[in-house]
């Protein structure tokens, strides 16, 4: 069985800091390209594609969710191919096809064509799990938590930078140029993987030796992996449960402000700013004190912040809790990633991170739907309360099952 110590002796960990720096840039391009466009899709539909105000909400929902189902189906397939054909090759595939999808998004003329583009984007997706898989092969064991924390922080930072850049471009030159810029960023990622990033090779003999071991680390045979995938689904669902209502809720708290769109965007971004700052520290904390403890602290703190967020009737306390919640949420996913990485051999990492990505896509589909239903039938405040309670229950379940274990 190939171990990290074997790879380290062969020299593949000598440049792990360089690999982390390159993948960090890669993730920033990927995340900011996505968030540069998605928040402005309703504007694109009405101003560029001729959708009426009466139908824009329906088309926005269709276009937004179109990619999730396809990517959830394809992610395990791409993950398995990554383990057999190479993780770097799958990262090249995803970067190139995502670049093509963004370019197509800039030349579409109808909402139906934009929906087809989003379906193709779901087929092309899978870059993030490949970034994770590659980094876990390069990272020294004692630096795994730090590396995953930096990557999660960068992903969150891209979520803050993207909408700001997208708003500036949409105002200055129109949304179509945002698609073309995103295409250029993803093509840059493709070039980086093609000419710079190298994947630590897995010898055929070692791969054969790990074949029997892979059966034992399958989520269907190992409860730990299955539980972490379930956690990834539920956490992603809770994170996106606010998506349909948070800007409406912020507008309600702020009152009749002339620049309400800017205010809503600023408050919404506070959680991302906090996450970008805190994620590397959570990674280091998990490495030292245990990833299960980190996971539970993140869920507990995030759950409490979400419950409190539903209480204020004014904007400033809500904004403070939005920032505080971001400090806790950013510690959850890196801990899940680290546990999965530590309990899977090198030849299975593509599959396990592909499965995690698929699980998160299911959560991404379920979250906005559940949030919309709760807001419609119970009220906006209850979205925050129920979300917080779900996180607290999940934290309690993880703690009761894995209390005393480090996770890695």
Would you say 292 and 340 are in contact if contact means Cβ atoms under 8 Å apart?
no
- Find the helix or strand (DSSP H, E) in which 333 lies: helix 332-342
Residue with tokens 């956690």: 231
Higher pLDDT, 299 or 72: 299
Q: Is 49 helix (H, G, I), strand (E, B) or coil?
A: coil
The pLDDT-based confidence of 389 (bands split at 50, 70, 90) is very high
Q: Are both 146 and 38 inside the same structural domain?
A: yes
Q: Are both 10 and 148 inside the same structural domain?
A: yes
Torsion of CA 50, 55, 57, 59, to 10 degrees: -60
In-domain check, residue 210: no
In-domain check, residue 298: yes
Cα 16 to Cα 82: distance, rounded to the nearest angstrom: 20
Task: Name the DSSP letter for residue 15.
Answer: T
Q: Are both 225 and 196 inside the same structural domain?
A: no
The pLDDT-based confidence of 218 (bands split at 50, 70, 90) is low
Q: Of 312, 197, 221, 325, which Cα lies nearest the Cα of 272?
A: 325
pLDDT of residue 200: 63
Would you say 193 and 27 are in contact if contact means Cβ atoms under 8 Å apart?
no
User: CA dist 242 to 156, 288, 335, 340, Å?
Assistant: 16, 32, 23, 27
Q: Identify the domain containing residue 118 by its residue range.
A: 1-202
| 202, 231, 251 - which closes a domain | 202
Q: Are both 316 and 361 inside the same structural domain?
A: yes
Q: Are both 167 and 249 inside the same structural domain?
A: no
Q: Are both 229 and 278 inside the same structural domain?
A: yes
Q: Are both 148 and 277 inside the same structural domain?
A: no
Q: Are both 34 and 126 inside the same structural domain?
A: yes
* pTM, rounded to two decimals: 0.78
The answer to which of 18-27, 179-188, 257-266, 278-287 has the lowest mean pLDDT is: 257-266
pLDDT digits (tens, 9 = 90+) for 157-181: 888 788 778 777 777 787 888 899 9
Q: Are both 161 and 265 inside the same structural domain?
A: no
Composition of the chain by helix, strand, coil, percent to 5: 85, 0, 15
Cα 123 to Cα 317: distance, rounded to the nearest angstrom: 41
Cα 34 to Cα 11: distance, rounded to the nearest angstrom: 35
Q: Are both 239 and 177 inside the same structural domain?
A: no
pLDDT of residue 136: 84
Q: Are both 183 and 237 inside the same structural domain?
A: no
Q: Are both 57 and 168 inside the same structural domain?
A: yes
Cα 280 to Cα 100: distance, rounded to the nearest angstrom: 32
Section 346-371 average pLDDT: 82
Would you say 186 and 331 are in contact if contact means Cβ atoms under 8 Å apart?
no
pLDDT of residue 203: 37
pLDDT of residue 15: 78
pLDDT of residue 101: 93
Indicate the average pLDDT of the chain: 82
């Amino acid at each position: 069985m190939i171990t990290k110590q074997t790879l380290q002796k062969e020299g593949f960990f000598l440049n792990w800091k360089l690999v982390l720096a390159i993948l960090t840039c890669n993730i920033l391009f990927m995340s900011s390209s996505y968030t540069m466009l998605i928040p402005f899709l309703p504007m694109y539909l009405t101003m560029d594609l001729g959708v009426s105000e009466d139908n824009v909400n329906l088309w926005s929902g269709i276009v937004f969710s179109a990619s999730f189902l396809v990517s959830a189906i394809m992610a395990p397939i791409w993950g398995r191919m990554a383990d057999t054909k190479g993780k770097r090759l799958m990262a090249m595939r995803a970067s190139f096809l995502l670049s093509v999808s963004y370019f197509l998004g800039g030349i579409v003329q109808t909402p139906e064509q934009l929906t087809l583009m989003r379906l193709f984007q779901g087929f092309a997706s899978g870059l993030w799990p490949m970034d994770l898989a590659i980094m876990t092969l390069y990272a020294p064991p004692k630096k795994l938590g730090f590396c995953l924390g930096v990557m999660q922080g960068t992903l969150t930072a891209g979520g803050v930078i993207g909408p700001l850049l997208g708003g500036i471009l949409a105002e200055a030159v129109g949304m179509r140029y945002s698609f073309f810029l995103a295409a250029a960023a993803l093509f840059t990622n493709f070039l980086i993987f093609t000419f710079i990033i190298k994947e630590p090779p897995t010898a055929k003999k070692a791969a054969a030796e790990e074949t029997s071991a892979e059966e034992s680390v399958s989520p269907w045979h190992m409860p730990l992996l299955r539980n972490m995938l379930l956690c990834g689904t539920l956490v992603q669902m809770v994170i996106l449960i606010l998506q349909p209502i948070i800007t409406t809720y912020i507008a309600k708290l702020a009152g009749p402000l002339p620049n309400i769109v800017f205010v809503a965007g600023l408050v919404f971004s506070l959680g991302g700013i906090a996450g970008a700052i805190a994620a590397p520290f959570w990674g280091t904390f998990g490495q030292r004190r245990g990833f299960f403890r980190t996971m539970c602290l993140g869920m507990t703190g995030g759950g409490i912040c979400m419950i409190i967020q539903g209480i204020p009737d004014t904007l400033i306390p809500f904004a403070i809790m939005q920032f505080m919640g971001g400090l806790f949420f950013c510690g959850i996913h890196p801990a899940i990633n680290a546990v999965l990485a530590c309990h899977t051999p090198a030849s299975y990492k593509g599959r396990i991170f592909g499965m995690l990505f698929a699980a998160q896509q299911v959560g991404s589909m379920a979250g906005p739907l559940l949030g919309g239903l709760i807001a419609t039938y119970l009220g906006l405040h209850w979205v925050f309360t129920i979300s917080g309670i779900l996180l607290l229950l999940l934290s309690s379940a993880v703690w009761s099952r894995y209390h005393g274990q480090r996770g890695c």
